[in-house]
Amino acid sequence: MQQRPLLKSLAECHVAGDASKEAGCAHPGSPTALKLVSWNIDGLNDKEIQARTLSICNALNRLEPDVVFLQEVVPSIVGVVKKHLSRYRYIPGDDKGYFAVTLINKKSVTYTSHSVVPFTSTQMDRHIVCVEATFNGLPLVLMNTHLESMAYSSQVRSIQLRKCFRRCMKEPSDRTVIFGGDLNLRDSEVASVGGVPDGMLDVWEACGSSPATRHTWDMSVNDNLDFGGEQAKPKCRFDRVYVRPSQPPCLVPASFLLTGKERLQHGGCFPSDHWGLVCCFSHS
């Protein structure tokens, strides 16, 4: 597939890999490297939920991201998240049912404002948590969401994706816009809305499209969910992060890693049925 101009200009300087050993940004220690983690933490699954949430909090504390996008947070684990991630400002999309939560590091990211935008098309109470902030003086727009689930919701999900892309592109050009979460996407749905807009990047693609980091929901490895049979082992790239760089570009994709691939010491399950995405952006 032919690379779009912006993607082609950045492709040579990026890497992809596995963050199971809590790897850092491509330029560790750099005050200009932004690290973002996106993770569906499977709060709708009661199995070992407190232990799984604590494991996720511990992983985030080791990774020390500047920004965290969480999906499927539920009220019963909010206390654990707030207690063990106290260095972060907690910005929820709701306080009941299940919802997205954005966390921003109080030391490295300066909060400006936020809003919660519900999807009018949703049957599953889905929304976007939109945060405006600055990182080293660079203006950011952070859009965390959980698009409609299940194959039968493809049309609704495409409508939601189109709305998110349009919102990203409407932001002022001096801002870096990062949009992501558990998008439940199939590649055909991205194509159905005309593809990724010109001027935006799929971070996994920008970092080399490594097969090792393609599948963020992989039942051939992750056995937290029982699909009832050896043949039913689906794997998908449901979780994605996109960036619309500012003009001129200030923060560009530097690395794309996965985390959450180690089982809990007690209980034997993984922290979630989804792997977490660890995305680093370097100052261009």
Catalytic positions are: 182
- Identify any residues that bridge with 99 across adjacent strands, giving them in sequence order: 73
Give the contacts of 229 (CB within 8 A, at least 6 positions apart): none
3-state SS, residue 84: helix
| 84-88, long-range: CB < 8 A, 24+ apart | 84/54, 84/57, 84/58, 85/57, 85/60, 85/61
C-alpha–C-alpha distance, residues 20 and 275, integer Å: 10
- Identify any residues that bridge with 115 across adjacent strands, giving them in sequence order: 130
Give the Cβ contact number of residue 273 at 10 Å: 21
DSSP 209: -
Gap between the terminal Cα atoms of the chain:
25
SS3 readout for 138-163: EEEEEEEEECCCCHHHHHHHHHHHHH
